A and B are shown apart, each in its own frame.
Chain A
Amino acid sequence: MNRRVCFYIRRLFLAALVIVALSPVLSWAMRFSHKVHEQKGVAECTTCHPADALSIIPSPEVCTPCHEGVDLDDTDFGPTRTHTPLWVRQHGRDSSEPDAQCKSCHTSSFCNDCHEGGELSPDLTKRTIRTEGVPRTHTSRFRIVHPLKTTGGQIDECFTCHAEEFCSDCHDTYRGKNRLKTVSHRESWTKIEAGTGGPLHEDFSLGQCQDCHPDGALSSRDWSAAHSREAKRSLKSCQSCHPSGAVCKDCHSALTGLKISPHPRNWRSIQAKFRKEAPEVCAECH
């Protein structure tokens, strides 16, 4: 009896293994359907297939007024041999990736002209009330919830559409109010006492740093560790309020201050390129 049970269990296990292994073969992706579109009121072919278009396959912009970008990625449109430029299909996903570089070549107007500006979306859920092309991540009062959303690599998503000044314009207004400061900024090093009961650091000049901190040695790394962690994770956040990086040079210049090197670990192998292409940047600290 036990042998028979074991035999059946083994058979059952084997069958399950085969089903799992073959499940991709037996399954199908969500397929694009003209019939469903007709049922939804898309009666004219030219709604999606403009006359004399370069390709019979509509561009994603044709779909996005009614569908979310993720729908396009998850739908099997069938063979796409005539749809060869990969960018056309992938730009939705690429632009939503952290640190997308769209703004390197385009202004936000470039995006808005297709996604919002030149096309009124029938999707009333789009948040276009104030500024055009605002993504869905901007719920309610974004300035209330953005501190957590702009941590780490997520800050790079902001700069896909916004210039750095977008942040600093607002933060400058609230300068001095503790709530709007990042953790490292809630107590600036300038307000730290030099020794117990000693004068504040802001009372010293940059030329005096080495007197107490030879070779950049620090007695406590609380403040420096906090700001270093934030900067390394989200350096573009720093740039938004400190565009020239002047505040960094107080401690990281080779000429004055603590003279702490900010360079990455592979600096030796890449420094020649930066010296050649942007010598003026080197001259700021050396």
Chain B
Amino acid sequence: MGLLSLNTQRHAALKTLIFMVMLVGVMKPPISRAETLSRLVTVYNSWEEEEGASNSSAAQYLDLWTSGNMNGFKLDLEGSGRIAAIEEEIEAGDDDVHRLYSLALTVSKPGSGGWLTLGRQAISSLTGHNIIDGVSLSIGSDPFTVNARWGIISDISNDDPDEEKTFGIGADYLLRSGMTIGLDYAQITDDGHVMEELVAVDWTYSWFRHTKAYFTLNYDLMSETYHEVLLGTRIFLSELITTTLEYSQNVSRFEADSIYSVFAIDATETTAFSLMFTPNPDTRYIWEYAVESFEGGDGGKRYVLGGRWTPGRSSFYLDFIQHLETGGELIELSLGASAYIHPLVKLGIGGDFSSTEPENDESISSYLGYLGGEWKPSPNKEMTLRVEQSGDEVLEDPTLAIRLALKLEF
């Protein structure tokens, strides 16, 4: 990273900070009955790498919210900051600590259903430095609403900043009770050239409390293909049994300036059926069967069998998943439990096992086990600790990992 771009990044971050402070300063006096909430979270991770090496990371998050009323309008201001570093990635002299700052102001007129949000986000990470400015708004209320959003993503990693612009507009219409249809248009441009262009239709229908049906269609105007089709229905046979049937078709999409955007691509079709049995609010059993097929032939199947039990404040889960793919077979088993041993202390234990047998290759298995705890001495303080060990048939020695997190609200 050049010195110039580093300075540009710092100037942009400084401008964002000044903008935030000014906005808060301007807003603060006229706001009546303003309420604020802040949250500070600190997370530390430590884990073993292959061949005995170790690594660690630390991250801190600060979120701030304030809201109030001014001249009949409701104002919500939300700010967020994130700073994180990974031990092995830090190099002397580099400013490669991951940072994210965002600020968003939402103005709404109570009762009107409309709102306007203005926001700015600054991101700095090893992969680049970006400033994202955005505006989104929604006008109207049921049965008809219109929404629009604009965004400018400025890549300031290089000496010659690059700008990508996004634009979207959509409308939702409540056709009748329980039935909604939405139309959307989205476009991404880079230096004035269209990189992506999509139109979408979204339809949902809820028939009382018995049936839900949904349909999504995304059409890629650049490649003139149906990028995504989703058709599904969920039928509630009784209070206890829910069935879901879904069909989806997907075709990968690339931005126009990628050479892959001009390559032929096959669509993938998936049909899935699931059955959920909930004999009581504390118990649920899940069964799922899915078939995947490719435009050029072949395909795969997936079976899922699982259960959830939540007596009192305790919880247990068990999942079994089998994938039968064109390239081989994969089996996964995971289970876990958590319970309060004290009104303020919760403990959890669990693990999983995976085994894969690729076609024309030997099978490989792996496992993971964890032990976790949560201590909440007061409603605004929380500490969690998790110790995890995992291993597989490729690595000779199992590896250990630890996560410690502290949360404070004020």
Contact surface of A with B, Cβ cutoff 8 Å: 23-31, 33, 36, 40-41, 50-52, 54, 73-74, 76, 81-82, 84-86, 90, 94, 97-99, 101, 104-105, 107, 109, 113, 117-120, 122-125, 128-130, 132, 136, 139-141, 144-145, 147-149, 151-153, 156, 163, 165, 179, 183, 229, 231-236, 238-239, 244-245, 248-249, 262-267, 269-270, 273-274, 276-278, 280-282, 284-285
B96 interface hit (Cβ, 8 Å): no
Nearest-neighbour CB distance to chain A for B334, whole angstroms, equals 6
Nearest-neighbour CB distance to chain A for B63, whole angstroms, equals 5
Q: A282 to B260, alpha carbons, bound, how many Å? A: 11
Nearest-neighbour CB distance to chain A for B51, whole angstroms, equals 12
Nearest-neighbour CB distance to chain B for A115, whole angstroms, equals 12
Per the CB 8 Å criterion, the residue count for chain B at the interface is 142
Q: Is the CB of B300 within 8 A of A281?
A: no
B388 interface hit (Cβ, 8 Å): yes
Mark B4-41 against chain A: 1 for CB-CB distance below 8 A, else 0: 00000000000000000000000000000001010101
Q: Is the CB of B368 within 8 A of A140?
A: yes
Residues of B within 8 A of A267 (CB): 262
Mark B286-305 against chain A: 1 for CB-CB distance below 8 A, else 0: 00000010111010100000
Q: Is the CB of A118 within 8 A of B41?
A: yes
Which of A23, A109, A233 has a CB less than 8 Å from the CB of B294? A233
Q: A120-B384, A145-B354, A153-B270 are in contact. List 5 more A-B contacts (CB 8 A).
A: A30-B236, A122-B346, A145-B364, A151-B327, A278-B193
B313 interface hit (Cβ, 8 Å): yes
Q: Is the CB of A118 within 8 A of B63?
A: yes
Q: Is the CB of B300 within 8 A of A151?
A: yes
Of A40, A41, A76, A144, most buried by chain B (CB within 10 Å of CB) is: A144
Which of A144, A153, A239 has a CB less than 8 Å from the CB of B354? A144
Contacts A118-B63, A141-B391 known; A274 to B262 CB distance under 8 Å? yes
Q: Is the CB of A269 within 8 A of B193?
A: no
Q: A26 to B334, alpha carbons, bound, how many Å? A: 36
B358 interface hit (Cβ, 8 Å): yes
Contacts A28-B236, A232-B296, A263-B262 known; A129 to B403 CB distance under 8 Å? yes
B276 interface hit (Cβ, 8 Å): yes
Q: Is the CB of B236 within 8 A of A262?
A: no
B258 interface hit (Cβ, 8 Å): yes
Residues of B within 8 A of A248 (CB): 259, 263
B158 interface hit (Cβ, 8 Å): no
Contacts A30-B278, A107-B123, A278-B193 known; A232 to B266 CB distance under 8 Å? yes
Instruction: Show 29 A/B contacts (Cβ-Cβ < 8 Å), sorted by A.
Output: A27-B237, A40-B313, A50-B37, A73-B234, A85-B145, A97-B228, A107-B123, A107-B125, A113-B61, A120-B384, A122-B374, A123-B338, A128-B386, A130-B403, A140-B367, A145-B332, A148-B329, A149-B330, A153-B292, A232-B264, A232-B266, A233-B266, A239-B254, A244-B259, A262-B263, A267-B262, A270-B223, A277-B195, A280-B257
Q: Is the CB of B256 within 8 A of A130?
A: no
Of A50, A81, A179, A278, most buried by chain B (CB within 10 Å of CB) is: A278
B271 interface hit (Cβ, 8 Å): no
Q: Is the CB of B260 within 8 A of A269?
A: no
Residues of B within 8 A of A236 (CB): 252, 254, 260
B141 interface hit (Cβ, 8 Å): yes
Contact surface of B with A, Cβ cutoff 8 Å: 35, 37, 39, 41, 43, 45, 47, 59, 61, 63, 67-68, 74, 76, 80, 82, 98, 100, 106, 108, 113, 115, 123, 125, 127, 138, 141-142, 145, 147, 151, 153, 166, 172, 174, 180, 182, 188, 193-196, 202, 204, 207, 209-212, 216, 222-225, 227-228, 230, 234-239, 242, 248, 250-254, 256-266, 268, 270, 276, 278, 281, 292, 294-296, 298, 300, 310, 312-313, 317, 323, 325-330, 332, 334, 336, 338, 346-348, 350, 352-354, 356, 358-359, 361, 364-368, 370, 372-374, 382, 384, 386, 388, 390-395, 401-403, 405, 407
Q: A281 to B256, alpha carbons, bound, how many Å? A: 8
Contacts A28-B238, A148-B328 known; A99 to B207 CB distance under 8 Å? no
Q: A1 to B329, alpha carbons, bound, how many Å? A: 56
Residues of A within 8 A of B329 (CB): 148
Q: A282 to B45, alpha carbons, bound, how many Å? A: 46
Residues of A within 8 A of B188 (CB): 104
Q: Is the CB of B338 within 8 A of A124?
A: yes
Nearest-neighbour CB distance to chain B for A46, whole angstroms, equals 10
Contacts A139-B332, A245-B259 known; A132 to B252 CB distance under 8 Å? no
Q: Is the CB of A262 within 8 A of B356?
A: no
Contacts A54-B115, A277-B193 known; A139 to B352 CB distance under 8 Å? yes
Which of A33, A122, A281 has a CB less than 8 Å from the CB of B281? A33
Closest 5 CB pairs of A and B: A124-B348, A153-B268, A140-B366, A124-B372, A29-B236
Nearest-neighbour CB distance to chain B for A57, whole angstroms, equals 13
Residues of A within 8 A of B259 (CB): 244-245, 248-249, 281, 284-285
Which of B47, B296, B332 has a CB less than 8 Å from the CB of A129? B47
Which of B45, B252, B313, B384 has a CB less than 8 Å from the CB of A153? B252
Q: Is the CB of B41 within 8 A of A84?
A: no
Q: Is the CB of A140 within 8 A of B172?
A: no
Q: A155 to B388, alpha carbons, bound, how many Å? A: 27
Q: Is the CB of A152 within 8 A of B268?
A: yes
Which of B194, B253, B266, B281 has a CB less than 8 Å from the CB of A99? B253
Q: Is the CB of B45 within 8 A of A129?
A: yes
Q: Is the CB of A229 within 8 A of B234?
A: no
Q: A277 to B255, alpha carbons, bound, how many Å? A: 10
Q: A29 to B386, alpha carbons, bound, how many Å? A: 36
Q: Is the CB of A235 within 8 A of B252?
A: yes
Nearest-neighbour CB distance to chain B for A47, whole angstroms, equals 9
Contacts A85-B138, A99-B253 known; A140 to B127 CB distance under 8 Å? no
Q: Is the CB of A120 within 8 A of B260?
A: no
Residues of B within 8 A of A28 (CB): 209-210, 236, 238-239
Residues of A within 8 A of B364 (CB): 144-145
Instruction: Name the residue of chain B whose CB is nearest to the CB of A282.
Output: B262
Q: Is the CB of B361 within 8 A of A140?
A: no
Q: Is the CB of B292 within 8 A of A152?
A: yes
